[in-house]
Chains A and B, each alone.
Chain A
Amino acid sequence: MARMKFLCDADRCIECNACVTACKNEHEVPWGINRRRVVTLNDGLPGERSVSMACMHCTDAPCASVCPVDCFYTTDDAVVLHNKDTCIGCGYCSYACPFGAPQYPQTANFGTRGKMDKCTYCSGGPEPDMSQAEYVKYGSNRLAEGKLPLCAEMCSTKALLAGDGDIIADIYRERVVTRGYGSGAWGWRTAYGETVAV
């Protein structure tokens, strides 16, 4: 079984936001919910770097550890998913998540939270694969179709990589060796307890 991961090559990311709108497009994510976003450090200064961020589908995911209703589960491909029917919108996971992944639709005045929403690694939820019920709650299920997350597939500079962790680490490693620099696999140590050694 593959161990699915994301890797954003910050030396390639140009903050074009294709990953963000590709995600919106694929899953019809509504205004105000951002499953993926691009974070820019040192904006406008020498050393400016951007990183595309979403749920990293952590090994030993902190969100799952704190969830009071135990709505999270990890698939055979190591994708961290959750069950919206179980979720009570308590928001604990948003405090636990080191990447700011969990999102909540506002359902009423005074900031009442709805069910949590986050990146599914384009692999839906507990409902039957590629069903309309799954689509309505979680968006499309590309993995079940034999495809990878659209954000990475459409990344303008191929900065955002998705796929089996070993394979994308090899791609990144080869790039770093070719060009002679690399600012590291951002977030990997936090998410996966390891980094890409070059």
Chain B
Amino acid sequence: MKLTLKIWRQKDANSKGKMMDYAIDGIDGDMSFLEMMDVLNENLNNKGEEPVEFDHDCREGICGSCSLQINGEPHGPDRLVTTCQLHMRKFNDGDTITIEPFRAKAFPVIKDLIVDRTAFDRIQQAGGYISVNTSGNTQDANSIPIDKHDADDAFYSAACIGCGACVAACKNASAMLFTSAKISQYALLPQGQVEAVDRVQNMVRQMDLEGFGNCTNTGACEIECPKGISLENIARMNREYLSASVKG
């Protein structure tokens, strides 16, 4: 396969970036998208040029490191996969592929295709935990029976990998799918009830402070989410928030 790549290059956070064109040949359909990027970088390196930097780590779709806005979509055209699990067989010989970083005010570019997603960490730090000591003096695990359906739903919310595709997909750059998934995990479990009021208020406050936009229910986040995190989480967060405002 022969391709033309249009890639965002930016030296660092303070420099101005621009799109650059690269021609690439010999791409096999069995390669993952990031392996195609490896080939490009090897070529650039051999020519004495600086490789394109992008975040990646596990390359099996679970760590949430990889990002990339590919032809305008977070993680590219395939569904329920991260960029590292996207394969080149989804593209055709002669295609032009546009590759940009995830765009959001709260995700500033660090270099090339790498963005700073520490805003997500700060939202979690504001309340994404249960305040239980880790010293091991807790009660027996089976002393808290939990309805299987609630446990399963909590798992589906907890399956979020924190990649930021929801923010990149959203025209408002909203982080509500991400934030609500963590709030939902705890809201669905008895262990999460004690701090429920403070949690939702603190996490939502931090989310707003970071400069993420609001949700206008377009649902793009759910469609682009590589883990299929459901919009129901946002509805649940809104209920939690409302009930916290009344109680709080």
Q: Do A and B come from one complex?
A: no
Interface set of A (CB-CB < 8 Å, partner B): none
